[in-house]
A and B are shown apart, each in its own frame.
Chain A
Amino acid sequence: EAGVTQFPSHSVIEKGQTVTLRCDPISGHDNLYWYRRVMGKEIKFLLHFVKESKQDESGMPNNRFLAERTGGTYSTLKVQPAELEDSGVYFCASSQFLAGNGNEQFFGPGTRLTVL
């Protein structure tokens, strides 16, 4: 079974440009999460989809970030326009609620974003 995949693995862009990150969850997982780790800081929650609906977007830093999950499968996270402080590693995770599994989240390898 394929795990969570993310594309690209690295992205280097200039301030003011637009970048779109993609996450493909584990097949059948209704829950999809985005997290971010800025250099030297903790990994922080950005948002949570249940199927195609945004369940919780309390961690989104500002309106330059737009996440979508059309059709409830893969998700994209667009940053427009990118700023220097957006640099970091963006992780995607997916899960499926099952009795007794505590909603275990499976993580992708992350996308390292560098904004110059």
Chain B
Amino acid sequence: AQSVTQPDIHITVSEGASLELRCNYSYGATPYLFWYVQSPGQGLQLLLKYFSGDTLVQGIKGFEAEFKRSQSSFNLRKPSVHWSDAAEYFCAVVPMEYGNKLVFGAGTILRVKS
């Protein structure tokens, strides 16, 4: 079935450590790709997006993501995590063949320990 997969439901990292959140999609054509973050009590905030071009994209708050067509992946990274990064992260795609709606992964809850 066509979907977006975030294999890690929870991740805990130490403050200052590096972070990688995984995302895979299964659609025929390369979709538009997004990462959103939801902090407690807040709405969804866009971290970064990929449509075309350079496969390494920079986002807000020091995050970056790399699109790998061969792996159908769009993993999110940050070199040094801050306690304020604790939140839930969602990978989402707009599949080209299904209109303009976003299809979300299940989300990854990031905990940061000091």
Binding site for B on A (CB under 8 A): 4, 31, 33, 35, 41-45, 48, 55-56, 59, 91, 93, 95, 100, 102-110
Contact = CB atoms under 8 A, between A and B. Distances in A.
Interface stretch (B16-24, B72-80, B95-103): B95-103
Given A102-B51, A103-B94, A109-B42, A45 B36 contact: no
Interface majority SS on B: helix, strand, loop or mixed?
strand
Contacts of A4: 43
Contact of A91 (B34, B44, B101): B44
Contact of B101 (A45, A100, A109): A45
Nearest to B46: A104
Interface of B: 32, 34, 36, 42-46, 49, 51, 90, 92, 94, 99-107
B51 A100 contact: yes
A55 B102 contact: no
A43 B101 contact: no
Nearest to B45: A107
A105 B43 contact: no
Given A91-B44, A107-B43, A43 B90 contact: yes
A48 B49 contact: no
A91 B36 CA distance: 13
Nearest to A95: B100
A48 B99 contact: yes
A107 B36 contact: yes
A102 B103 CA distance: 14
B43 A108 contact: yes
A43 B104 contact: yes
A116 B107 CA distance: 26
